[in-house]
A = this chain, B = another copy of it.
Amino acid sequence: MSFKSEPIFKEIATQLTTNTKLTKNLIDKTKSVIVFNLKNKSGSKAWKLDLKNDGKLSEANESDLNNSDLVITMKDLDFKKLVEGKSNSQKLFLGGKLKIKGDVIKAANIETILKSLRPQKAKL
């Protein structure tokens, strides 16, 4: 059984390769490797969105599932709905349909925000 989200990832891969300005911008802002681990009735398939090093999308392997900054697990169809704006992450998250593993605080830039809000200490 094929994944409904497959064409979306193809679009994303193309966009990353052709729109280098956007890709560079996303790497600067994100600095994370994000794995999307999707499930359908026949099994699971994962994609790795590298917005830290090479700005490329590829199929994820077992090691990526354990060593990426964020791993987002959800149903194939829910991912499609999310990207198409037919569902939203808040709803999926609260309904237990979207699970996230990793350093969400870093991803949400909380540390960066807190550090930027502390006055610079005078240098001695």
Contact = CB atoms under 8 A, between A and B. Distances in A.
- Copies of this chain assembled into the complex: 2
A100 B107 CA distance: 12
Given A30-B109, A98-B105, A104-B100, A14 B72 contact: no
A22 B89 contact: no
B93 A105 contact: yes
14 contacts: A11-B119, A12-B117, A26-B113, A70-B110, A83-B115, A89-B105, A89-B106, A89-B111, A92-B105, A98-B105, A104-B104, A104-B107, A107-B109, A108-B108
A77 interface: no
Interface of A: 8, 11-12, 14-16, 22, 26, 29-30, 34, 49, 51, 70, 72, 82-83, 85, 88-90, 92-93, 98, 100, 103-111, 113-119
Contacts of A107: 104, 107-110
B118 A89 contact: no
Nearest to A30: B113
A16 to B, nearest CB: 7
